Structure 1
Amino acid sequence: MSLSIGLVVHASRRGVFEEAVEPVSGVSLKWVTYGHERDIRPHVQSLVDGHALDGLLVGAVPYRACRDVLPRTLPVAVTRNSALDLALALGQAQARGWQAVPVSIDTFDHEVVCEVTESLHLDRTRVTCLPYADDQSVDEICAFHRRSLHDGDGYVITARTAVLRQSRGDLRVLNGSPTPSSIRSELRELLLRIRSERAGAAGFAAGVFCVSRHGCPGDPERSRMDLLHLLRATPELTDAWIENRGRRGVVVLGRRTLFERLSRDWLVAPVLDRAQESLNVPVSAGFGVGSSARTSVVLAERAAVRAESENRPCGYLMEDSGLVLGPIGPGGLGGPGGPGGRSAGQWTGPPTARPHREQGDRMRELARTVGLSPATLSRLAAIEHDVAGRAVTPSELADAMAVTDPSGRRLVRKLHAHGLVTSEGWAQTHRKGRPTGLYRLAIVAALTGSADGHALETV
């Protein structure tokens, strides 16, 4: 079954995008072609209202113009200018007989410009760069280029169609927009992400329910048998496979959607309340979502151990993406004095679980937008906590993530493009060699809406 993908492109770039997507199979394309930025938002609104889209491929400028009308759950890929695009533009200058420098570049990130100019052994002092920012106007970008090339020598590399058009009268200008291969790579990554998410939603999940080691009034094995019968009588688990799991535990295996219904989208676990009320048995639950039934059970067992450490009836969810949600409350059958009433200070469920659910949704939303996995974003949030506000270099970030330096630089560029890092200047880490950029992570604030938020945990 083909996926319906929307593409938002400037009229002058339509041919490039058509060349890029032509070899890609299994997609049905819905085009939005615009001539002026003011046309983007209403055209995209019509596209979203008129079609059931599976994903959207869009450039940075149109994304800024239309992101408020996009459904929160719609997977989006934003095309970015790569090192290859810049190198090809510099090659075009050489083919025209132009001197390689001076050159004034917009839209490309500092790290991309440094990487390419160093590889080509260009004089970095004669290369100026204005990275993309949402609040840049065309007039401001053109003014930057004129200041950079005030002596009349040199040329401009721009990825902005409007800048290209406006600067041609008095400056030599080359187009540095993404090439067909870069666009095709972004599209294929988007398709892979969509299919992966759908496979995960339709895949297996597991639940491990454990009678508490402490507070169980009778024989734990007898309590476990009572819990087994209770779970088999639970309507939401009619289609699940349920069996004993050790002396105190019961394992449940089924589709992920089954457990989402049971937990009301991972907000509460009312079955824990029913066990407490009808069996007088405190129960902890672990839920696991993995690529296979076996992996799901392993994750569920780890989550159950974590839930038991809370010393109160609750649950935890662990996904093989690295995401952890919890504690998930028992559902709250009533406050003090109500049915199943609790005394003041006892567990009440949803109020504690809801912030974790919202943060998990935000994690997935950010991951979709940036083009990273939730596990990677979660790990970066943990690194931000570890560095305690200190600015880091791409190399330091690469070491912390256990990836290569080029991968670290690409990661920084992705984060910077979405406001998840801020540039803090430059550092000379070695006596010889070029300076390296310093960046301050801002992922936790994006996840929590405040600078003092707490990162999600990772397994």
Structure 2
Amino acid sequence: MQTRIAIIGSAEFFDRIQSVSHQVSNIELDGYIYQNPQEASQLLKQIKPCDVIFLSGTLPYLFTKKLHDQLPIPVVYLAQDEMTIASTLLAVLYHKNIPFERISIDLFDSSIVSNVLDAIDIETGPLHIMDYGNILLSELFKFDELVTFHHSLWKKGEIDLAITSVHAVYDQLFTLGVPVIRMADPKTTLIRGLQEAKAKAEYVKSQSAQVAVGYISVNSSNGEQRKSIDIFAHEIFATVQQRNDSLFVLYSTRGDIEALNPNDFSFLENQEIFIGFGYGATMKEAEKNALVALSFAEKNHHSCYILTENKDLLGPFPHSQKQQKLVNDHPDLYLIAQKAKLSPANLAKIIDFAKDSGWQHFTSADLADYLQVSRRTAERMIKKLVDHGYIQIVGEEMTYQQGRPRALYNLNIPIVF
């Protein structure tokens, strides 16, 4: 099956990447050509159906970044790297015999040049480099600063050649009569970029086609609830099976579920309906994950949870889209869980709670609300971790005039987990 790749870049970039495209099998390129990288955001809105978007560099990537989350397909870009800088400088030395001190360079990250020179143990005098990564990239961004940087150095007689990574800057400098070359990406870099784009597209396709099973639980089936379920199933192109008066099963794909937005779950807020979706490589795995997700939904009124094949729990929708991990495969955390006689999954959720709360002090009630368990269950978990020094008591909170003050705790486990 062909992978359709939309290329956004200059005409020169598109010609170069077309020249190597035959070395990557089963791809088809569509070109969207700009004169200036700032035009990339408009071109992004014009793209016809494809599998992945390939941007020619860091600038068009940053100019379009705010639109990426709205796209149903992946976006990749060709980043400047040491190979590109090294091959460009080598070509200048070999063909033009110009010392580094007589060259001006603009690029997104000037440290790349330093890395190349350090790697080959070359010492030079002060270099003329403009790092435009520090320039505010916005709709008001102008390339005049880059043009002025090179042009002024050339007029002062301080350089013999300008190297630019921006095609629009190259065109202006050429018009001004400044000796200039483009920073050319080696063929291997272009091929690697196409391979990455193809791999990303294939991965997203495989994920989207993954089996998704949904279990819907209702207190008592009635006409209004059944209508809401049928409308929801239609939105995700799912087939519906009714197991009994209070349980329905939906069969769909991961791609259709992930295409939903929070408003699609709004019908849950006014009805006693609970939904759990599960993803899996097989139908059996997806059904098992869906039942676990449903058990979380039934503890949280009017909600939907999703459990992935990696045991990442997403939800509750539509109120929140936080993520918890229901498994823990870190060997050190596994030892902690064994020592404290706590399940690895519960330990992982407690750590997620601490991260989500910004590692602030917490009470047993805070933890109980987060884990959707009783106060007593949360207190038992805390006690096990306190007994082994993994949670510390750091104070008390007196929020009421009567009753015992509530203990304040702090997690004492390294944050790298």
With the shorter chain as reference, the TM-score category is 0.5 to 0.7
1: CA distance, partners of 2:302 / 2:45: 48
Partner AA of 2:194 in structure 1: L
Counterpart of 1:415 in structure 2 is none
Of stretches 293-302 and 173-182 in structure 1, the one that deviates more from structure 2 is 293-302
- Alpha carbons of 1:198 and 1:321: their partners in 2 closer, same or farther (altered >3 Å)? farther
1:162 to 135, 157, 168: 168
Which residue of structure 2 lines up, in the alignment, with residue 314 of structure 1? 303
Partner SS state of residue 129, structure 1:
strand
Q: Which letter does structure 2 place at the counterpart of 1:160?
A: V
2:128 is aligned with 1:138: no
Secondary structure of 1:178's counterpart equals: coil
Larger radius of gyration: 2
Cα distance in 1 for partners of 2:149, 2:311 equals 43
CA distance in 1, matches of 2:261, 2:131: 47
Whether 1:89 and 2:88 are equivalent positions in the alignment is: yes
8 Å Cα contact 2:153-2:159 kept in structure 1: no
Residue aligning to 2:203: 196
Percent identical across equivalent pairs? 18
Aligned length: 312
Partners of 2:356 and 2:149 in 1: CA distance: 33
Cross-structure match for 1:185: 192
Q: Which residue of 1 aligns with 2:404?
A: none
Counterpart mapping for 1:20-419 below 5 A: 20-33=20-33, 36-37=35-36, 44=43, 48=47, 51-60=48-57, 72-96=71-95, 97-101=97-101, 103-123=103-123, 126-127=126-127, 128-132=129-133, 134=137, 135-146=140-151, 152-153=158-159, 155-168=161-174, 172-207=179-214, 236=233, 239=239, 254-256=251-253, 260=257, 267-268=264-265, 276=272, 285-293=275-283, 295-297=285-287, 299-300=289-290, 303-304=293-294, 306-307=296-297, 310=300, 312-320=301-309, 324-328=313-317, 352=319, 356=321
User: Following the alignment from structure 2 to structure 1, what is the Cα–Cα distance between the partners of residues 294 and 125?
Assistant: 58
Q: In 2, distance between residues paired with 1:148 and 1:123?
A: 22
What are structure 1's unaligned runs of at least 5 residues? 217-222, 277-282, 330-351, 360-381, 389-458
Give the letter aligned to residue 158 of structure 2: G
CA gap 1:126/1:303 in 2 versus in 1, 3 angstroms: farther
Question: By how many angstroms is 1:181 displaced?
Answer: 2.6
Q: Which residue of 1 aligns with 2:381?
A: none
- 2:278 and 2:124 map into 1 onto residues whose CA distance is 51
Report the AA paired with residue 196 of structure 1. Y
Matches of 1:56 and 1:302, distance apart in 2: 36
User: What is the letter of the counterpart of residue 83 of structure 2?
Assistant: L
Match of 2:328 in 1: none
Alpha-carbon distance change, 313 to 124 in structure 1, aligned in 2, over 3 angstroms: farther
CA distance in 2, matches of 1:20, 1:273: 57
Q: Which amino acid aligns with 2:162?
A: V
Deviation at 1:141, TM superposition (A): 0.4
Which position in structure 2 is the counterpart of 1:413? none
Conservation of the 8 A alpha-carbon contact between 2:162 and 2:180: yes
CA RMSD of aligned residues (A): 5.1
Partners of 2:254 and 2:50 lie apart in 1 by 22
Report the residue type matching 1:288 in the other structure: G
Cα shift readout 1:39-81 (whole Å, capped 9, x = no counterpart): 9579948963xx4333332334566778899974354333322
TM-score when scaled to structure 1?
0.51
Which whole-Å deviations, capped at 9, do the CAs of 1:403-444 have from their partners, x for residues lacking one? xxxxxxxxxxxxxxxxxxxxxxxxxxxxxxxxxxxxxxxxxx
After superposition, give the CA deviation of every residue in 1:198-236 in whole Å (9 maximum; x if it has no partner): 22222212346789xxxx9xxxxxx9xx9xxx99xx765
Structure 2 residue matching 1:84: 3-state secondary structure: helix
- Whether the 8 Å contact between 1:209 and 1:304 is mirrored in structure 2 is yes
> AA paired with 2:82?
A
- Measure the CA separation in 2 of the matches of 1:38 and 1:86: 20
Checking the alignment, whether the CA contact within 8 Å between 1:89 and 1:176 is kept in structure 2 is yes
**Is the partner of 2:188 in helix, strand or coil?**
helix
2:73/2:204 contact within 8 Å kept:
no
Letter in 2 for 1:138: F
Alpha-carbon distance in structure 1 between the residues aligned to 2:17 and 2:255? 41
Alpha-carbon deviation of 1:290?
3.7
User: Mind listing any 5+ residue stretches in structure 2 that lack a counterpart?
Assistant: 324-353, 361-416
The residue aligned with 1:398 is none
> Is the Cα contact below 8 Å between 2:146 and 2:169 reproduced in 1?
yes
Measure how far apart 1:88 and its partner are.
0.8
Q: CA deviation at 1:10?
A: 2.5
State how far apart, in whole Å, the 1-side matches of 2:143 and 2:181 are.
Answer: 16
2: distance between equivalents of 1:89 and 1:98? 12
- Cα deviation for residue 173 of structure 1 reads 3.4
Rounded Cα–Cα distance in structure 2 between residues aligned with 1:42 and 1:193: 21
Distance in 1 of aligned mates of 2:292 and 2:240: 20
- Alpha-carbon distance between aligned partners in 1 of 2:124 and 2:291, rounded to the nearest angstrom: 55
What is the distance in 1 between the residues matched to 2:90 and 2:152?
A: 24
1:126 match: secondary structure: coil
